[in-house]
Amino acid sequence: MLSSFLAWRPFLDPLSLNAYWWAFLVPLALGVSVSYRAVRMKDLSSLRAFARQVLVMTWQIVAAMVMLGAGVFVFLEYVLPRIAPMP
């Protein structure tokens, strides 16, 4: 078992998590929100406002990604076949 663990090279042989890509959307949005709000914060006096702003921005990012995905799906499945029909 140790030899198989030592043989794993994370950058050359990454884990196949293609089926679970959606599970990483919320942590990624949370990280972007925390980073952005921390850089844009004017003073350190209101951490409650910081937490609320981070959660709102995280929700906005996730909602925007879902809406963009739905829009691309509708475009590819319904609009594009009417614009350029396949023979």
The predicted pLDDT at position 65 comes to: 96
- Considering the domain boundaries, does residue 6 fall inside one? no
Looking at residue 68, what is its pLDDT? 97
* pLDDT one-digit tens code per residue, 14-48: 878 888 888 999 999 999 999 999 998 887 777 88
Residue 66 resides in a domain:
yes
45-52: average pLDDT:
84
Tell me, yes or no, whether 4 lies in a domain. no
**How far, in Å, CA of 22 to CA of 69, rounded?**
11
Q: What is the pLDDT of residue 4?
A: 61
Q: Measured between alpha carbons, how far is 79 from 73 in angstroms, rounded to an integer? A: 9
Q: For residue 64, what are its two tokens?
A: 């925007």
The C-alpha atoms of residue 60 and residue 58 are separated, in whole angstroms, by 5
In a domain, 7, yes or no: no
CB 54 within 8 A of CB 33: yes
What is the reported pLDDT for 5? 64
**Would the pLDDT of 62 be above 90?**
yes
Q: Is residue 9 in a domain?
A: no
Distance (Å, whole) CA 54 – CA 77: 34
Span 65-86, mean pLDDT?
94
What is the reported pTM? 0.76
The boundaries of the domain holding residue 75 are 20-83
Q: How many domains does the chain have?
A: 1
